[in-house]
Chain A
Amino acid sequence: MIVQPQILTKALDAALSTGADFADIFLEDTYSSNLSLLNSQPDKAIVGQLYGAGIRLFFGHEIIYVTTNDLSEAGLVKAALNAAQTRGVGAAKKTLPLMQVPFDSIHTYGEKPWEMNRDRKFRWLASLDQHSRARSSAVTQVEAGLNEKYQRVQIANSKGVMSYDERAYTRLRFETFVETNGVKESAYEDEGHMGTSEIYDQINLKDLADTSVDRALLLAKADYAPAGEMPVIIDNAFGGVIFHEACGHGLETTSVAKEASVFCGKLGQKIAHESVTAIDDGTIANGWGSLMVDDEGNATKKTTLIENGVLKSYIVDEMGARQTGYEATGSGRRQSYKYAPASRMRNTYIAAGKDKFEDMVRDVDYGLYTKKLGGGSVNPGTGDYNFQAVEAYIIRNGRIEEPVKGACLIGRGIDTLGKITKVSDDLKLARGMCGSVSGSIPAAVGQPQILVSSLMVGGRAK
């Protein structure tokens, strides 16, 4: 609990004093820690606190949003009145009695980040550095960082809902730099989850370090990818970023309600190959993109977006529900109180299919296998997306052959969905940070291996 309910009621009543038909308050107290290691030594330590509130009013389809760092009764009421007076001219309404939603999280956390011994944290980072340097004498530098965030939120709204949630995030990130035969390269790896940091005692950091060093060495000797349209097999785990970018953003009501999505008006229609079923699930215990309640105070859900190729649901927040008439899916999310919430993805993945990865490879005469994807982006209005393959191989005559670098995959979401012709039985999820209108939030992506029958690969012209 950050603020007492009677204070929140006064602030909500102030927000409703000029005719708003809905108001909510999002209060946040967040601890952040950022440690890093460079030249095999502890190099940086920054800790900090976010402490503030966002007050939101609905006048029909209009949103008024104000923020304040003053969480006293006077501060909250003043901010709420300012918001109300900005637009309102109507009759005052009253907040329904606030009823606390029981805080009974499915996520388990260990030692709080500010309680845990800092030497222990630096030991994990040092171990990544040591394993990387031990893997190859070509390693010239290792940059490793541990980011921890512990967010406590309290949300109350004029419909009488009051929720509380605690979200712990931890993420270990590192980049290894190599130089071999005069060629410099680097590779990046990360490990993280919703939870606290003691998990790194269980994770095999040597494997993580070896993977990163091996990829950097592979890239140092790899030729550039060819260019043109070809079949592409996209690996599981972070490969799911293709669905996140190509389709997920276009299913958010933030785009749909504005008719700025190619998926507008397609509910119940076949929009993908029948082998595709896609889920957006906020309920995975300790999942990277999971929640208990969303940032609008609603219990989060597991939402089937596409079932056997047919569009079943959008990703809906409260305003999206008002605008489109679809039920909210517990998907209202934001980076912090500094942003009004918007409909956003949680843990989004293509469900496992029946195909075997080996058979998919065998089916390709000449194409690309992308083992690890990097970042990408999408234009929700057109569905045009792009993302980079950070580790890729040529497939020739049904066999995975030489590695290539610099491959960029380009396509249009709705076209690509129709070209996913095989979906393997090996589903994995991976972490990402998703940036959109309500800031940067943790979101998991995932999929089994998929075969896209034809995709534009931007490599280098020979």
Chain B
Amino acid sequence: MDTIKANFQKISEQARQDHAKVEMLIAGGETISIGFSKKKLESFESTQSQVAGLRVIAGAKQGYAYTENLSEESLLRTYREALNNAQTVRAANNTEVPMVKPQPVQAMDGLFKPQEVPMEQKIAVARDLEEKCLSKDARIQSVPYSGFSDSLSFKRILNSEGLDQEFKQNYYSGYVYPLAKEGDSTKTSGEGFFVRSFGDIKVDEVVDEGVRKALANLGAQKLSTGKYAVVIDRSQFPMILQMLSSYLSAKTVHQGKSLLEGKLGQKIVSEKFQLVDNPFEITGSAVRPFDDEGAPSQKTVLFENGVLKNFLTNLEYAQKMKLPHTASASRSPASELDISPSNLVMAKGSADFSELVRRYDKVLHITEFEAGLHSSFKSSTGDISMPSSGFLYENGKCVGPVEQFVVAGNVLELLQNIEELGNEYNKPGSSKICPDVLVKPMSVAGA
């Protein structure tokens, strides 16, 4: 028996004596990150992490504690803190919080394939990412941010019902962020990759695309205020799905904070909008064979022809709200049990990009939402106010880059106004897989 299991059994025994149940989530990993600046190695970071998070269930109450010290003594102390925390909170009712029982999970091949790649090759990828950007075009002045990472992550869940599941994955990722300058105009643009095999890294493609985008934005003009049909680029639409995702949680619904409350079975967005939660989609970054309380993963249809089909649940909220259990429990060792999607996969359409920008006389192609969710989205109302940049198309032809405008409205209205979908998906490595999206004319605030 390994040390973790042996230590957990002692905690579990203590919990039995305390008339409590306990779950331990251990998550961590190893990452090597390499960055170049001005054609010289700038940083080489090798980080390791391992955190144990204990969830103690005492009847209808739950408490949490975590530690980075995985010794027996530290874990037992952390267990006692979690038990104390469970006794601190109040339970909404007297229903005992359920715990997942051991069940078989679907094997997922191809996620954990550590390779013996010489360090020099990894450093060469980081070097090439920067140097090739610099030599691509004289207008590329610098590459303020670029880097390569080799990552391995793991997650293990043990509970007092006898469950013990482990999941590991490794992947390689990198990015470039070149800065282009011409006259008074300075522009940056980011591009990256995410692959599960070192041999699949295509530095030239990333460099070409990063440089192309930075240069294309040079000389951007302000946009006049008005209503514009909008194509939200497939690289940016994940942000819209992120806004939607918290509303899909049964917990959010139960707390009265979801705009989708009471809408199950209703058509609430465009019939073009189809959305599935797919934890098995390995091009996505949120792949998982089991959720964060150890329940075997499953696919869940969320929207079909614009109709809301399901909310996402964990075991507790499936029981509490009498909804199907979708195995969508999520937490980190340092946070409470929540509910969140795995990979959200939208159905794509059949239209080429050129068809999308021809649908209206004027179409605004948004290639960058400049602000994060924390400032551009208000969850309690669904209101969005998103500073953006992109390109203006007139009669299907690109007129030029535009900047400093704000797309404003409401996220549900935006989803209702989806008119057409592109026929290509965004690049692998996002947990939101989606095509370009044409939205009917909406309010855009500019100069």
Binding site for B on A (CB under 8 A): 32, 35, 38-39, 41-52, 61-69, 82-83, 86-87, 118, 122, 140-141, 175, 177, 184-186, 224, 227-229, 255, 257-260, 262, 338, 340, 374-377, 379-382, 384, 386-388, 405-408, 410-411, 456-461
Is B394 part of the binding interface, using a Cβ–Cβ cutoff of 8 Å? no
18 contacts between A and B (CB under 8 A): A41-B89, A43-B90, A46-B85, A48-B66, A48-B67, A49-B66, A51-B69, A67-B47, A83-B46, A177-B380, A228-B447, A258-B142, A259-B142, A338-B49, A410-B406, A411-B404, A457-B445, A459-B408
Instruction: Decide: B66 and A460 in contact? CB cutoff 8 A.
Output: no
Shortest Cβ gap from A33 to chain B (Å) = 9
Instruction: Decide: B256 and A140 in contact? CB cutoff 8 A.
Output: yes
Is B376 part of the binding interface, using a Cβ–Cβ cutoff of 8 Å? yes
Is B121 part of the binding interface, using a Cβ–Cβ cutoff of 8 Å? no
For B41, list chain A residues within 8 Å (CB): 62, 87
For B144, list chain A residues within 8 Å (CB): 255, 258-260, 380-381
Instruction: Decide: B187 and A382 in contact? CB cutoff 8 A.
Output: yes
For B188, list chain A residues within 8 Å (CB): 379, 381-382
Instruction: Out of A118, A228, A376, name the residue touching B371 (CB < 8 Å).
Output: A376
Shortest Cβ gap from A364 to chain B (Å) = 19
For A386, list chain B residues within 8 Å (CB): 370-371, 375, 387
Instruction: Decide: A48 and B65 in contact? CB cutoff 8 A.
Output: yes
In Å, the complex CA distance between A69 and B142 comes to 36
For B90, list chain A residues within 8 Å (CB): 41-43
Known A86-B46, A408-B387; further 9 A-B contacts with Cβ < 8 A: A42-B90, A43-B90, A62-B41, A65-B45, A118-B88, A408-B371, A408-B445, A458-B387, A461-B443
In Å, the complex CA distance between A41 and B92 comes to 9
Q: Identify which of residues 34-48 in chain B touch chain A, using a CB-to-CB cut-off of 8 Å.
A: 37-38, 40-48
In Å, the complex CA distance between A381 and B404 comes to 16
Task: Please give me the 3 A-B residue pairs with the lowest Cβ-Cβ distance, nearest first.
Answer: A458-B406, A227-B445, A260-B144
Nearest B residue to A57 via CB reads B44
In Å, the complex CA distance between A410 and B37 comes to 30
In Å, the complex CA distance between A83 and B49 comes to 16
Is B327 part of the binding interface, using a Cβ–Cβ cutoff of 8 Å? no
For B403, list chain A residues within 8 Å (CB): 384
Instruction: Decide: A375 and B385 in contact? CB cutoff 8 A.
Output: no
Instruction: Decide: B179 and A63 in contact? CB cutoff 8 A.
Output: no
Instruction: Out of B50, B335, B375, name the residue touching A374 (CB < 8 Å).
Output: B375
**Residues A46 and B46 in contact in the complex (CB < 8 Å), given A459-B445, A461-B443, A461-B445:** no
Is B136 part of the binding interface, using a Cβ–Cβ cutoff of 8 Å? no
Nearest A residue to B177 via CB reads A381
In Å, the complex CA distance between A461 and B446 comes to 9
Shortest Cβ gap from A140 to chain B (Å) = 7
Shortest Cβ gap from A10 to chain B (Å) = 20
In Å, the complex CA distance between A259 and B444 comes to 33
**Residues A47 and B81 in contact in the complex (CB < 8 Å), given A67-B47, A184-B381, A259-B141:** yes
Instruction: Decide: A62 and B43 in contact? CB cutoff 8 A.
Output: yes
Shortest Cβ gap from A120 to chain B (Å) = 12
Instruction: Decide: B46 and A62 in contact? CB cutoff 8 A.
Output: no
Nearest A residue to B188 via CB reads A381
Nearest B residue to A141 via CB reads B256
Instruction: Out of A47, A229, A377, name the residue touching B370 (CB < 8 Å).
Output: A377
For A69, list chain B residues within 8 Å (CB): 48-50, 68-69
Is B383 part of the binding interface, using a Cβ–Cβ cutoff of 8 Å? yes
Nearest B residue to A456 via CB reads B404
Instruction: Out of A42, A228, A340, A380, name the residue touching B445 (CB < 8 Å).
Output: A228
In Å, the complex CA distance between A459 and B66 comes to 43
For A257, list chain B residues within 8 Å (CB): 37
Shortest Cβ gap from A439 to chain B (Å) = 12
Q: Identify which of residues 99-154 in chain B touch chain A, using a CB-to-CB cut-off of 8 Å.
A: 119, 141-142, 144-145
Instruction: Decide: A461 and B226 in contact? CB cutoff 8 A.
Output: yes
For A64, list chain B residues within 8 Å (CB): 43-45
For B38, list chain A residues within 8 Å (CB): 258
For B375, list chain A residues within 8 Å (CB): 374-377, 386-388
Instruction: Decide: B44 and A63 in contact? CB cutoff 8 A.
Output: yes
For A374, list chain B residues within 8 Å (CB): 375
Shortest Cβ gap from A314 to chain B (Å) = 16
Q: Per-position contact with A for B380-401: 1 when CB-CB < 8 Å, else 0?
A: 1101011100000000000000
For A35, list chain B residues within 8 Å (CB): 88
**Residues A47 and B380 in contact in the complex (CB < 8 Å), given A228-B447, A260-B144, A377-B371:** no
Q: Identify which of residues 299-320 in chain B touch chain A, using a CB-to-CB cut-off of 8 Å.
A: none
The majority secondary structure among interface residues of chain B is: strand
Is B354 part of the binding interface, using a Cβ–Cβ cutoff of 8 Å? no
Shortest Cβ gap from B411 to chain A (Å) = 13
Instruction: Decide: A45 and B445 in contact? CB cutoff 8 A.
Output: no
Count residues on chain B whose CB falls below 8 Å from chain A CBs: 73
Is B255 part of the binding interface, using a Cβ–Cβ cutoff of 8 Å? yes
In Å, the complex CA distance between A63 and B44 comes to 6
In Å, the complex CA distance between A66 and B47 comes to 5
Instruction: Decide: A384 and B370 in contact? CB cutoff 8 A.
Output: yes
Shortest Cβ gap from A34 to chain B (Å) = 9
Instruction: Decide: B186 and A382 in contact? CB cutoff 8 A.
Output: yes
Shortest Cβ gap from A434 to chain B (Å) = 12
For A48, list chain B residues within 8 Å (CB): 53, 65-67, 78, 334
Instruction: Decide: B65 and A46 in contact? CB cutoff 8 A.
Output: yes
Instruction: Decide: A45 and B179 in contact? CB cutoff 8 A.
Output: no
In Å, the complex CA distance between A227 and B387 comes to 12
For A141, list chain B residues within 8 Å (CB): 255-257
In Å, the complex CA distance between A257 and B38 comes to 10
Instruction: Decide: B92 and A44 in contact? CB cutoff 8 A.
Output: no
Nearest B residue to A224 via CB reads B408
Nearest A residue to B144 via CB reads A260
For A460, list chain B residues within 8 Å (CB): 408-409, 443, 445
Is B422 part of the binding interface, using a Cβ–Cβ cutoff of 8 Å? no
Q: Per-position contact with A for B62-98: 1 when CB-CB < 8 Å, else 0?
A: 0111111100000000100100011011101000000
In Å, the complex CA distance between A462 and B38 comes to 48
For B63, list chain A residues within 8 Å (CB): 45-46
For B262, list chain A residues within 8 Å (CB): none
Instruction: Decide: A67 and B89 in contact? CB cutoff 8 A.
Output: no
Instruction: Out of B43, B65, B92, B386, name the residue touching A63 (CB < 8 Å).
Output: B43
For A224, list chain B residues within 8 Å (CB): 408
Nearest B residue to A65 via CB reads B45
For A340, list chain B residues within 8 Å (CB): 43, 45
Nearest B residue to A121 via CB reads B88
In Å, the complex CA distance between A63 and B46 comes to 11
For B16, list chain A residues within 8 Å (CB): none
In Å, the complex CA distance between A386 and B408 comes to 14
Instruction: Decide: A46 and B336 in contact? CB cutoff 8 A.
Output: yes
In Å, the complex CA distance between A50 and B50 comes to 10
In Å, the complex CA distance between A35 and B88 comes to 10
Instruction: Decide: A49 and B67 in contact? CB cutoff 8 A.
Output: yes
Instruction: Decide: A68 and B67 in contact? CB cutoff 8 A.
Output: no
Instruction: Decide: A459 and B406 in contact? CB cutoff 8 A.
Output: yes
Shortest Cβ gap from B431 to chain A (Å) = 20
Instruction: Decide: A381 and B186 in contact? CB cutoff 8 A.
Output: yes
Shortest Cβ gap from B257 to chain A (Å) = 8
**Residues A258 and B37 in contact in the complex (CB < 8 Å), given A63-B44, A376-B371, A381-B144:** yes
Nearest A residue to B375 via CB reads A375
Nearest B residue to A52 via CB reads B68
In Å, the complex CA distance between A126 and B2 comes to 45
